[in-house]
Amino acid sequence: MTEVTKEEFGVIPGQGSVQKWRLKSQSVTVEIISLGCIITSIKTKGRDGEFNDIVLGFDNLQGYLNNARYFGAVIGRVANRIAGGRFTVDGKEYQLAINNGPNTLHGGVRGFDKAIWSCQSVEGGVRLTLISPDGDEGFPGELRATVTYILAEDTLSIQYQACSSKTTPINLTNHSYFNLADHAAPDIYDHEVSITSNAYLPVDENMIPTGEIRQVDGSPFDLREPVLLGPRVREVPGPGFDHNFCLASGRKTHFCLRIEEVYHPASGRVLEVSTSQSGVQFYTANFLDGSLQGKDGATYPKHCSFCLETQNWPDAVNKVQ
């Protein structure tokens, strides 16, 4: 059985109270706050019997109010980048807020990660709901989004739903940063990763997919068999992995398929990820630089963690798939 409890995490003047929900099974404890549906902590046991917190985050609400790297947050309306911050739907062009060079990133200036969601308890977890008004960050339609976290023994499931009054792009994901040794460990070079994908999306200088779907054969992006991350990340052009791996033809599947596994030999911890989405953005914390002070006074340098953001393909609203 999963124990579900809640408490106040803090108050944002003019916006309201932020709740913290704790989901606890015999093997895993997950903490989630109503600001941005943020996962603030995942504690799980290693082979030594000790529990460690394996996601990056902050000790208090103020840290999450300045969460420029989206630690643990649900991203929306559209995760990843939209080229030029514009798209056309039903013959009408929409211009979005620009917040990443020439592009829109992770929903814009005030995406779903910065909103306080309403919460209700469900069996084994919590359901969070947000109403995004028509025109929010430039997107059309009033949109109702729900995110449900359920913990069953050692499995955390995240279920996303959204309904809009107008045709609009929607692409929700979770942006947790993992280090299976401990959130404060200095790097992930001793982790082994595998991703069941035959292709990835090359990107241009602005991190927008070029439109090519490139096979991984013979490249550093071939992660179909487990590889040690330290040597492999140094082979990738640029600062590290920040690429979409293609899991399907670009269209959402109707079943969950286990497609990623990360193993940390020293602790014995394994993270398995399953998804019904057509892609996963594998990101190795290339833009962290040690300037952020996280939980327990930890600093988070480059390559200290990784993200597996299951989602639709980046800039899909402007690409033919």
* CATH code, domain carrying 278: 2.70.98.10
Residue 309 a catalytic site member: yes
In a domain, 316, yes or no: no
- What is the distance of C-alpha 221 from the center of its chain? 20
Q: How many alpha carbons lie under 13 Å from residue 3 in its C-beta half-sphere?
A: 8
In a domain, 109, yes or no: yes
Q: What is the pLDDT of residue 256?
A: 59
Containing domain of residue 123, as a range? 3-311
Polymer length of the chain = 321
Query: Among candidates 99, 68, 80, 52, which has minimal Cα distance to 288?
Result: 68
In a domain, 320, yes or no: no
What is the arithmetic mean of pLDDT over 30-46?
Answer: 98
Rounded Cα–Cα distance for residues 127 and 154 (Å): 19
Alpha helices in the chain (DSSP H): 61-65, 229-235
What is the arithmetic mean of pLDDT over 306-311?
Answer: 97
Tokens of residue 96, six digits: 């979005």
Residue of 31, 106, 175, 191 with catalytic role = 175
Sheet holding 257-264, edge to edge: 227-228, 192-195, 257-264, 269-275
Q: In this model, does residue 142 exceed pLDDT 70?
A: yes
Residue 243 a catalytic site member: no
Q: pLDDT tens for residues 52-64?
A: 999 999 999 999 9
In a domain, 154, yes or no: yes
CB 20 within 8 A of CB 33: yes
Read off the pTM.
0.96
Q: pLDDT tens for residues 282-299?
A: 999 999 999 999 999 999
What is the arithmetic mean of pLDDT over 216-220?
Answer: 97
* Residues in binding site: 80-81, 175-177, 242
Give the DSSP per-residue string, 192-204. Answer: EEEE--SEE--B-
In a domain, 233, yes or no: yes
* Residues in binding site for beta-D-galactose: 80-81, 175-177, 242
Residue of 137, 192, 260, 309 with catalytic role = 309
Q: What is the pLDDT of residue 252?
A: 46
Decide: helix, strand or coil at residue 283.
strand
Q: pLDDT tens for residues 240-271?
A: 999 999 996 544 444 556 679 999 999 999 99
* Number of domains comprising the chain: 1
Query: Among candidates 187, 157, 168, 172, which has minimal Cα distance to 299?
Result: 187
* Virtual torsion, Cα 36, 41, 42, 46, nearest 10 deg: 160
What is the arithmetic mean of pLDDT over 202-230?
Answer: 96
Q: In this model, does residue 198 exceed pLDDT 70?
A: yes
Query: How many percent of the chain have pLDDT more than 70?
Result: 96
In a domain, 317, yes or no: no
In a domain, 319, yes or no: no
Q: What is the pLDDT of residue 320?
A: 77
